[in-house]
Amino acid sequence: MRLKKWLSLFMLIVMTAAFLAGCGKGDEKNDSSDTAETGTPSITEDVISDTGETGTSSDTEDVISVTAETGNPSDTEAADETETPVELKSPVGSMRDITTMELVYDMGIGINLGNTFDATGDWINPKTVRNFETAWGSPVITEKIIRAYAEAGFRTMRIPVTWSNMMSEDYVIDPAWLDRIQQVVDWVIGNGMYAIINLHHDSFIGELFPVDEAEGFRKYEAIWTQVSERFKDYNDYLMFESMNEPGFDAIWNQYTGTQEQKERAFDLLNRINQRFVDIVRASGGNNAERHLLISAYYTNIDYANNGLTKMPDDPMGRCAISVHYYTPWTWVALTKDESWGKAQWEWGSPEDYELLNSQLDLMKKNYVDKGIPVIVGEYCMCSKKEKKYSDLWEIEVTRGIYERGMCPIYWDVQGSATNFFNRITLTWGNPEVLAAMQEIQATRDFTKVNGK
């Protein structure tokens, strides 16, 4: 009985950590979407590490076994054995003669496969594909789960990946990890959606580059060389994203740093993004023409528009920019007052709309109107607030992004604050927001893109 209580407590801690990670994303999170001057601190880094200190390796294994008994298959290969076979579209083929602006237009409204292949933690033991995949609360992903997202109308799925999870000391990615990501990408494209894969919680971006830039580039290039090689024959329904919420606090403290330090930090990010484009373009196959997504500093809208963010030189001219939207953080995440801000309990005032519109207008003016496509790669409510206000924020953020010709991609995790989608029962816990998203998406004519 005592063991049962311990396992229950451990599961609660793990699920709490996983939920918070969905908004904070641990290693590289630093108020990525809030206005830079608000002073919002990172809130999740200690959550995961604290979780690791609460249990032993054997406890972790037991928890994962319990999770598996709720309906997950014993391994990824067996995940779809009992499902009805469906005919999937081939992910391999030629690239269409369309611009990145046309492609982003066609991506419609998307959703993230969050807290899945991006999960991290030293407490995840043994470090296998399955244990990483389920560590933060997700069941083992099946084609049926992916199909449910597609059938709900989502046209794009962002698949956050932490490649460092299963990688040798000389930066060789475990083939089993690459195989599993490829399998899910195949399901996404096979069900008619666009797929985006990135580097997510690969913490070396913020930790290694500032202290050993040469080694940072060596590791970064090793990852994208292997990923590019694996997917070089995939068609343009696959997009690569350079990083997730990158920042270099060891170079520039965004609250107290100097202008010179700030310029150094942004220059480093610009050079990494340029290397990303160069690696992919030189890798052969369809990667010579692949549409690419460039991450802004901490994916912060203000930082994307401060004049220091530079789009890479791309011989194909096929790059979009990525930002996230969790604004204001006092509304999206806080459930109690903090020293740096008071929790906001309602949303929808004229001032609230003014902030939303001003932020999105910046991206339209400085990017969309200049021919640079924009993808808002993450947004969602990260705390439980009164439903009428919470739903209003998620709907209006979706509408605001979409009406400006950008692609909104909702951050979805198992057990989210709004109970959006249950990957085990395949049911939608917030049908009102889903229906609104479907209505918003229906305002766009998807027959305009060539080759449809």
Q: Looking at residue 22, what is its pLDDT?
A: 52
In this prediction, residues 96-105 reach a mean pLDDT of 97
Q: What is the DSSP string of 122-173?
A: TT--S--HHHHHHTTSPPPP-HHHHHHHHHTT--EEEE---GGGGB-TT-PB
Name 69's Cβ contacts closer than 8 Å, sequence gap at least 6: none
pLDDT at 71 over 70: no
Buried/exposed code over 290-326 (b: 16+ C-beta within 10 A; e: otherwise) = bbbbbbbbbbbbbbbbeebbebbebeeebbbbbbbbb
Above pLDDT 90, what percent of the chain?
79
Give per-residue pLDDT as tens, 295-326: 999 999 999 999 999 999 999 999 999 999 99
Phi, psi of 244 (to 5 degrees): -130, 120
Give per-residue pLDDT as tens, 142-176: 999 999 999 999 999 999 999 999 999 999 999 99
Instruction: Find out whether 105 and 42 touch, Cβ atoms under 8 Å.
Output: no
- The pLDDT-based confidence of 95 (bands split at 50, 70, 90) is very high
Tokens of 421: 């989608």
Chain-centre distance of CA 206, in angstroms?
A: 17
In this prediction, residues 204-211 reach a mean pLDDT of 97
Full-model pTM = 0.85
Catalytic residue of the set 133, 378, 394, 396: 378
Q: Looking at residue 11, what is its pLDDT?
A: 47
Q: Looking at residue 242, what is its pLDDT?
A: 98
- The pLDDT-based confidence of 362 (bands split at 50, 70, 90) is very high
pLDDT at 2 over 60: no
pLDDT at 56 over 90: no
Tell me if residue 320 falls in helix, strand or coil. strand
Helix (H) or strand (E) holding 63: helix 57-68
Average pLDDT score, the chain: 86
Q: Looking at residue 93, what is its pLDDT?
A: 93
Looking at 25-44, list the stretches that DSSP marks H as alpha helix, in order from N- to C-terminal side. none
How many helices (H) does the chain have, and how many strands (E)?
Answer: 15, 10
In this prediction, residues 90-100 reach a mean pLDDT of 96
Tokens of 390: 């919470």
Q: Looking at residue 221, what is its pLDDT?
A: 98
- Report the Cα–Cα distance between both ends of the chain, in Å, rounded: 59
**Residue that has been written with the tokens 């580039």 in this structure:** 217
Looking at 199-307, list the stretches that DSSP marks H as alpha helix, in order from N- to C-terminal side. 204-207, 213-231, 259-281, 301-304
Q: Which of 13-22, 129-138, 314-323, 328-337 is least confident? A: 13-22
Q: Which of 394, 372, 273, 270 has its CA nearest to residue 325? A: 394
Q: Looking at residue 84, what is its pLDDT?
A: 58
Rg (CA), the chain: 21
Give per-residue pLDDT as tens, 254-307: 999 999 999 999 999 999 999 999 999 999 999 999 999 999 999 999 999 999
Catalytic residue of the set 245, 346, 386, 439: 245
pLDDT at 409 over 70: yes
Q: Looking at residue 86, what is its pLDDT?
A: 77
Q: Looking at residue 438, what is its pLDDT?
A: 98
Tokens of 167: 């990688």
In this prediction, residues 181-190 reach a mean pLDDT of 98
| 378 is a catalytic site residue | yes
Name 67's Cβ contacts closer than 8 Å, sequence gap at least 6: 11, 134, 139
Distance CA 257, CA 251 (A): 8
- The pLDDT-based confidence of 449 (bands split at 50, 70, 90) is confident
Residue 338 is classified by DSSP as B
Q: Looking at residue 87, what is its pLDDT?
A: 87
Distance CA 273, CA 67 (A): 38
Longest dimension (CA), the chain: 64
Phi, psi of 412 (to 5 degrees): -115, 130
Query: Domains along the chain?
Result: 2-448 (3.20.20.80)
Q: Looking at residue 83, what is its pLDDT?
A: 56
Peptide bond into 350 cis (omega under 30): no
Q: Looking at residue 23, what is its pLDDT?
A: 65
